[in-house]
């Protein structure tokens, strides 16, 4: 019979509902049982698309012998880290502090008072029962030592994260030092930083692109563009369906770990769009468009919100789901040479050359023996090389590749799909809204992307925002799935959504998104702001079951809430001139000064915010009707200039009154001689307004180099 997890909404918890383990969700029922029966807690944390979580489930949690020990000696709790990042952070901090590393699945043993005393990540089946029995013995026979050790460790963890430097805003020397750190780790032959495995970390690239724009130095730009190009050409990119897999197992970007996460698509789109705007190179824009099309096609709720992820594992297409439940990594994405020949006909040889397809398979290594006689697609040759090898024109080769991709996508759509994690997370939707909105205003013909961003923002506002009467506070929820919204939002939910709304306001000009962003910022400050040292805590501190109130610093696969919130306040303060916001900016930069000074690579989004702070943030205002030709001409000039710190405002007569209520300084900005007019300003002091595209181009050229 299903266990208690059958009543949960989390796809990850539901994956474990039929385990013989007597799982509990995180909550008082489990805590009360542990206390009343005087048993330790076995806590297992993971997420639905985690490959090694699936492995540990199959090997251990579906094993009756393991289940017997867990059910006899422990209270077992399952946590979805994507729904409950607050719980995950506490115990990941413990695991990293005691073992030197972390990851998922995470396995932690707790006292009934929730204090951790032993932990790790994936435990193979060999010896796992013995570990469980030994920990249970220690709990019975050496209880006082366990409790003392757990209490001492929690005390140590509570002391982490205090101010490590003087509360002063770091100077530009910190930015120069951070660039040198990246240069020292840069893989000059293959792109990326360090060796295998190689993870996409777009905040690093956004920082480097901003430093190029601030200083004019080429090295930061070269590192960012080389990494973006290597990822796009390698196996980590889905060359058939668009978007990116989680990371590259090898240092050559050839062998991906195949899960696809919404937050990766969002941040990588932002990086590729910035690269396209900086270079004018269609290649980077095309990569971004492919990812946006993937999200639109495969990760979008009917009402416009965005789903969370797709699994790495799926049933191989040669096996019927009815006959073989066994899944393998990447089965949905890999191809045999015979299949390519069979489905592509005359285009097969061109596609083989393009994507490195070989008769015996092309995997440079295969640690789980899952790619035998199969091909992992990567860009093996340029179109020019293929044209030279085949005697066909470049245009003919390009057309053959395009036809081949379309046919392969159609064929692939008939295969058993990887499992979709169909929960809608507010934070990740905020990032994706930002990506669609930025693409809409930077890429040519981007109107549909702005529409997609607006639909997603409307979805979040409808389903995940509990508004309140005037002078009362609203509440943002974190998760929506199948009609059910729940889990009060964390700092990253507020920060990422505000980021998305600010991008949407700048792309479409609708003041209602700015108004909501301001409301959310006030609520975020009420719930999470540290008035003593600056920065934002990850949690409210009101949930007694979450033992540590942490202030996240590390910008990992997802940037820290304080880093994004700082960028948001920089934008908002240059829209509103709010002195309280400026004070919070100064306090946060001071609070993080020690981290930024010592470990620039650990906080790339924070140093990107610091780069923005030192660059200054020009305001660019276009007054005119959105669909008018003269307005479009001025907007096109703005689109061509890479000024990542600029704040954009569109003023139309239809929205003038609504906008001036939020931004009073815009009410006197008018068209000149009945024509669309651009104002280029710094700190609300504007240059001579212009109606001419050439003059605006010159003004933007000047501010982009100052």
Task: Give pLDDT tens digits for 326-354.
Answer: 899 999 999 999 999 999 999 999 999 99
The answer to whether residues 345 and 224 belong to one domain is yes
pLDDT in tens, 615-651: 999 999 999 999 999 999 999 999 999 999 999 999 9
Shared domain check, 197 and 153: no
Is the residue at 73 inside a domain?
yes
In this predicted structure, the answer to whether residue 597 has a pLDDT above a threshold of 80 is no
Contacts of 247 (CB under 8 A, 6+ apart): 197, 198, 199, 200, 236, 256, 257
- What number is the average pLDDT over the span 669-680? 95
Q: What DSSP state is assigned to residue 25?
A: E
In this predicted structure, the answer to whether residue 473 has a pLDDT above a threshold of 90 is: no
Looking at the structure, tell me whether residues 283 and 152 fall in a common domain: no
DSSP 332-364: TT-B-HHHHHHHHGGGHHHHHHHHT--TT---S
Q: What is the pLDDT of residue 453?
A: 98
Residues in the chain, overall count:
706
CATH number at residue 102: 3.40.30.10
Select from 528, 520, 527, 526 the least CA-distant residue to 467. Answer: 520
Say if residue 105 is preceded by a cis peptide, omega within 30 of 0: yes
In a domain? residue 564: no
Q: What is the DSSP string of 478-510?
A: EEEETTEEEEE--HHHHHHHHHHHHHHHHHH--
**pLDDT at site 324:** 54
Average pLDDT, the chain: 95
**Residue 104 maps to a domain:** yes
| Structure confidence by residue, pLDDT tens digits, 369-415 | 889 999 999 999 999 999 999 999 999 999 999 999 999 999 999 99
Q: What is the model's pLDDT at position 175?
A: 95
Domain closes at, from 421, 444, 469: 421
Whether 200 and 137 share a structural domain: no
Q: How far is CA 580 from the centre of its chain?
A: 29
Q: Which two tokens stand for residue 111?
A: 């006292």
Q: In whole angstroms, what is the distance from residue 11 CA to residue 697 CA?
A: 50
* Gap between the terminal Cα atoms of the chain: 68
Q: What is the pLDDT of residues 247-261, one digit of tens each?
A: 999 999 999 999 999
Is 56 among the domain residues? yes
What dihedral angle (degrees, nearest 10) is formed by the CA atoms of 657, 661, 662, 668? 60
Over residues 450-479, mean pLDDT: 92
- Dist. CA 543–CA 200, nearest whole Å: 33
Give yes or no for a cis peptide into 197 (omega within 30° of 0). Answer: yes
Give the pLDDT score at 142.
95
Choose among 421, 447, 449: nearest CA to 435: 449
Taking each helix axis from N to C end, the angle separating 426-442 and 491-508, rounded to the nearest 10 degrees, works out to: 20
Establish if 120 belongs to a structural domain: yes
Average pLDDT over residues 116-122: 96
pLDDT band per the 50, 70, 90 thresholds, residue 596: low
The answer to whether residue 676 is domain-embedded is yes
- The domain in which residue 48 lies consists of 4-158
Separation of alpha carbons 209 and 275, rounded Å: 8
Q: Give the DSSP H/E element, type plus range, for residue 681.
A: strand 677-682
Give the separation between CA 412 and CA 403, rounded to whole angstroms.
14
Q: How confident is the model at residue 167 (pLDDT cuts 50, 70, 90)?
A: confident
What is the rounded CA–CA span in Å between residue 172 and residue 170? Answer: 7
Same-domain status, 148 and 199 = no
Dist CA 16 CA 10 (whole Å): 10
Write down the pLDDT at residue 44.
98
Question: Do 39 and 151 sit in the same domain of this protein?
Answer: yes
Give the model confidence (pLDDT) of 552-573 as tens digits: 888 999 999 999 999 999 999 9
Mean pLDDT across the stretch 494-523? Answer: 97
Residue matched to tokens 């964390």? 490
Residue 540 has pLDDT above 90, yes or no: yes
How far apart CA 452 and CA 440 sit, in angstroms, is: 9
Is 324 a member of any domain? yes
Q: d(Cα 129, Cα 326) in Å, to the nearest integer?
A: 24
Element (DSSP H or E) covering residue 42? strand 41-46
Residue 75 has pLDDT above 70, yes or no: yes
Q: How many domains is the chain built from?
A: 3
Going from the C-alpha of 516 to that of each of 144, 426, 474, the distances in angstroms are 52, 14, 11
Find the mean pLDDT for residues 610-616. 96
The pLDDT confidence band at residue 365, using thresholds 50, 70 and 90, is confident
- Residue 467's pLDDT band, with cuts at 50, 70 and 90, is confident
pTM, two decimal places: 0.96
Q: 488 pairs with which residues across the strands?
A: 477
374-386 pLDDT tens trace: 999 999 999 999 9
pLDDT confidence band for 13 (50 / 70 / 90): very high
Taking alpha carbons only, the member of 596, 552, 617, 570 closest to residue 179 is: 596
Q: Based on the fold, state whether residues 236 and 89 are members of the same structural domain.
A: no
Same domain, 147 and 224: no
How many of the other CB atoms lie within 10 Å of CB of 124?
Answer: 10
Output phi, psi for 149, to 5 deg: -65, -45
Is the domain of 329 the same as that of 197? yes
Q: Are residues 288 and 206 in the same domain?
A: yes
Q: Which residue has the higher pLDDT, 593 or 33?
A: 33
Same domain, 224 and 137: no
pLDDT at residue 472, rounded to an integer: 67
Q: Report the share of the chain in percent with pLDDT over 70.
A: 97
Q: Which of 399, 421, 443 is the last residue of a domain?
A: 421
Position 451 in a domain: no
Helices (H), 142-261: 143-158, 172-185, 202-215, 218-233
Give the pLDDT of residue 369: 85
Sorting pLDDT into bands at 50, 70 and 90, what band is 25? very high
Is there a single domain that holds both residue 195 and residue 135? no
């Amino acid at each position: 019979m299903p266990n208690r997890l059958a009543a949960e909404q989390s796809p990850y918890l539901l994956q474990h509902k039929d385990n013989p383990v007597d799982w509990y969700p995180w909550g008082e029922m489990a805590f009360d049982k542990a206390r009343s029966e005087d048993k330790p807690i076995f806590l297992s944390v993971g997420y639905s698309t985690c490959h090694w979580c699936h492995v540990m489930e199959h090997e251990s949690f579906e094993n009756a012998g393991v289940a017997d020990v867990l059910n006899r000696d422990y209270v077992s709790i399952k946590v979805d880290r994507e729904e409950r990042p607050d719980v995950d952070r506490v115990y990941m901090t413990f695991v990293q502090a005691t073992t030197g590393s972390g990851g998922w699945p995470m396995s932690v043993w707790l006292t009934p008072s929730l204090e951790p005393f032993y932990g790790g990540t994936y435990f193979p089946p060999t010896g796992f029962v013995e570990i469980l029995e030994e920990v249970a013995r220690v709990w019975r026979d050496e209880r006082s030592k366990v409790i003392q050790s757990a209490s001492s460790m929690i005390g140590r963890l509570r002391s982490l994260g205090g101010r490590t430097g003087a509360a002063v805003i770091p100077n530009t020397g910190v930015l120069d030092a951070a660039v040198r750190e990246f240069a020292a780790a840069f893989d000059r032959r293959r792109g990326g930083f360090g060796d295998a495995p190689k993870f996409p970390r777009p905040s690093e690239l956004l920082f480097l692109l901003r430093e190029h724009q601030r200083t004019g130095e080429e090295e930061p730009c070269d590192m960012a563009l080389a990494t973006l190009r290597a990822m796009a050409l390698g196996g980590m990119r889905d060359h058939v369906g668009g978007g990116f897999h989680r990371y590259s197992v090898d240092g050559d970007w050839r062998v991906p770990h195949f899960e696809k996460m919404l937050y990766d698509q969002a941040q990588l789109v932002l990086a590729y769009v910035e690269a396209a705007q900086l270079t004018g190179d269609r290649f980077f824009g095309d990569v971004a468009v492919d990812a946006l099309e993937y999200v639109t096609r495969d990760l979008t709720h009917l009402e416009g919100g965005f789903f969370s992820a797709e699994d790495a594992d799926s049933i191989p297409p040669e096996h019927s789901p009815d006959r073989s439940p066994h899944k393998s990594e990447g089965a949905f994405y890999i191809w045999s040479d015979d299949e390519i020949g069979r489905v592509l006909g005359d285009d097969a040889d061109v596609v083989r050359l393009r994507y490195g397809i070989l008769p015996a398979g092309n995997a440079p290594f295969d640690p789980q023996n899952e790619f035998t006689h199969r091909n992992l697609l990567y860009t093996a040759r340029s179109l020019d090389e293929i044209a030279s090898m085949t005697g066909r024109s470049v245009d003919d080769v390009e057309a053959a590749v395009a036809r081949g991709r379309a046919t392969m996508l159609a064929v692939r759509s008939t295969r058993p799909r990887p499992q979709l994690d169909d929960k809608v997370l507010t934070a990740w939707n905020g990032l994706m809204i930002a990506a669609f909105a930025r693409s809409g205003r930077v890429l040519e013909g981007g109107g549909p992307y702005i529409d997609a961003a607006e639909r997603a923002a409307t979805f979040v506002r409808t389903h995940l925002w509990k508004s309140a009467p005037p002078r009362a506070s609203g509440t943002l929820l974190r998760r929506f799935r199948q009609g059910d919204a729940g889990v009060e939002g964390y700092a990253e939910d507020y920060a990422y959504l505000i980021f998305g709304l600010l991008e949407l306001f700048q792309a479409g000009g609708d003041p209602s998104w700015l108004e909501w962003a301001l409301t959310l910022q006030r609520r975020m400050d009420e719930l999470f702001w540290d008035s003593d040292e600056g920065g934002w805590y990850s949690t409210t501190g009101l949930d007694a079951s979450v033992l540590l109130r942490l202030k996240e610093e590390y910008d990992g696969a997802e940037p820290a809430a304080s880093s994004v919130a700082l960028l948001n306040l920089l934008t908002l303060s240059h829209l509103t001139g709010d002195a309280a916001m400026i004070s919070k900016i100064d306090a946060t930069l001071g609070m993080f000064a020690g981290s930024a000074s010592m470990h620039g690579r650990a906080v790339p989004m924070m140093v990107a915010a610091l780069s923005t702070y030192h660059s200054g943030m020009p305001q660019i205002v276009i007054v005119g009707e959105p669909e008018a030709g003269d307005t479009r001409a001025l907007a096109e000039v703005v689109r061509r200039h890479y000024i990542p710190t600029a704040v954009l405002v569109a003023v139309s007569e239809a929205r003038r009154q609504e906008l001036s209520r939020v931004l009073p300084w815009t009410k006197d900005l008018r068209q000149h001689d009945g024509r669309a007019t651009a104002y280029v300003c710094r700190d609300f002091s504007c240059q001579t307004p212009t109606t001419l595209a050439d003059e605006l181009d010159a003004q933007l050229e000047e501010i982009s180099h100052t």
